Structure 1
Amino acid sequence: MLEVAVIALRWLQYSGAVVLLGAPLFLLYSFRRDDGPNLTWARQTLAFAAIVVGLGSLAALVAQTAVMAGSLSEAVKPASLSFMITGTGLGMAMVARAAIALLGLVVVVALTPGRAIWWLMVVLGLLVAASFAWTGHGAATEGPGGVIHLVADVIHTVAAALWLGALAALTILLLRRTAPDDLAIHRALHGFAGLGTLAVALLVVTGLANSWFLVGPERLEGLGTSLYGQLLIAKLVLFVLMLALAADNRYRLTPSLGLKLQGAEDPVAALQRLRRSIAVEAALGAAILGVVAVMGTLPPPAAL
Structure 2
Amino acid sequence: MIESLVVLARLVQYAGTAMLFGAPLFYLYGLPADGPGAARTSAGTKGLVVVAGLLTAIGCGLALLAQTAMMTGALADALDPQALVMVATGTQFGVSVITRATASLAALAVAATLRPSTNLWRASAGLGAVALASFAWSGHGADGEGAAGLFKLSADILHLLAAGVWLGALAALLLLVLGVRQAEAAAVRALHGALEGFSGVGSVVVATLVLTGLINSWFLVGPDHLLAAATTAWGAVLLAKLCVFALMLSLAALNRFVLTPRLQRALASLDPASALAALRRSLLVESAAGLSVLILVSWLGTLAPPASL
Per the normalisation by structure 1, the TM-score is: 0.97
Partner of 2:272: 267
User: How many percent identity over aligned positions?
Assistant: 45
Q: CA deviation at 1:58?
A: 1.3
Which residue of 1 is the match for residue 156 of structure 2? 153
- Quote the offset at 1:59 in angstroms: 1.8
Deviations 1:179-206 (A, max 9, x none): 1301110011111111111110000000
After superposition, where does 1:111-126 map in structure 2 within 5 Å?
Answer: 111-126=114-129
1:16-63: per-residue Cα shift (whole Å, max 9, x none)?
111000100110001232132362201111111101101210121012
Which shows bigger deviation, 271-280 or 37-46?
37-46
Q: Distance in 1 between matches of 2:173 and 2:223?
A: 38
Q: Deviations over 1:50-79 (max 9, x none)?
A: 011012101210121011101133222222
Partner of 2:173: 170
Q: Is the 2:22–2:169 contact (alpha carbons within 8 Å) kept by the matching residues of 1?
A: yes
Pair 1:294-2:299 in alignment:
yes
Q: Give CA-to-partner distance per residue, 1:87-119, whole Å, 9 cap, x none.
A: 101111111211110110010111122000000
Distance across 1 between alignment mates of 2:141 and 2:8? 21
Assess if the C-alpha contact under 8 Å between 1:19 and 1:168 holds in 2.
yes
Counterpart in 2 of 1:144? 147
1:45 aligns with 2:48: yes
In the alignment, which residue of structure 2 is the partner of 1:245? 251
Query: How far apart are the structure 2 equivalents of 1:34 and 1:95?
Result: 37
CA distance in 2, matches of 1:174, 1:217: 45
Q: Following TM superposition, by how much is the alpha carbon of 1:218 offset from its aligned partner in structure 2, in angstroms? A: 3.4
In structure 1, distance between residues paired with 2:142 and 2:89: 18
Within the candidate set 206, 209, 214, 2:215 is matched to 209
| Corresponding residue of 2:76 | 73
CA drift at 1:219? 2.1
Q: What corresponds to 2:198 in structure 1? A: 192
CA RMSD of aligned residues (A): 1.1
Kept in 1, the 8 Å contact 2:192–2:263? The answer is yes
CA distance in structure 2 between the partners assigned to 1:91 and 1:79 by the alignment:
13
For the 8 Å contact 1:108–1:117, the answer to whether it is kept is: yes
What does 1:57-68 align with in structure 2 at a 5 Å threshold?
57-68=60-71
When normalised by structure 2's length, the TM-score is 0.95
Give CA-to-partner distance per residue, 1:132-161, whole Å, 9 cap, x none. 011111101234310000000000000000
Which of residues 253, 276, 281 is equivalent to 2:281? 276
- Report whether the alignment pairs 1:132 with 2:138: no
SS at match of 1:299: coil
Q: Separation in 1 of the partners of 2:116 and 2:259?
A: 31
Q: For residues 231-273 of structure 1, give each alpha carbon's deviation from its aligned partner in whole angstroms, at most 9, with x where no partner exists.
A: 11011101111111111111111001111112x3310110110
The corresponding residue for 2:9 is 9
Q: Which moved more, 1:249-258 or 1:28-37?
A: 28-37
Matched, 1:182 2:185: no
Give the equivalent residue in structure 2 for 1:23.
23
**Residue range with higher mean Cα deviation, 124-133 or 55-64:** 55-64
Q: Could you give the per-residue CA deviations for residues 152-181 of structure 1, whole angstroms, max 9, x where no partner exists?
A: 000000000000100000001000113130
**Aligned pair partner of 1:105 in 94, 104, 108:** 108
SS at match of 2:3: helix
Partner of 1:236: 242
Taking the aligned partners of 1:59 and 1:33, their CA distance within structure 2 comes to 37
SS at match of 1:221: coil
Q: How many residues align?
A: 303
User: 1:81 is paired with a residue of what secondary structure?
Assistant: helix
Q: Where does structure 1 differ by over 3 angstroms across 4 or more consecutive aligned residues?
A: none
Measure, in 1, the Cα distance between the counterparts of 2:302 and 2:12. Answer: 15
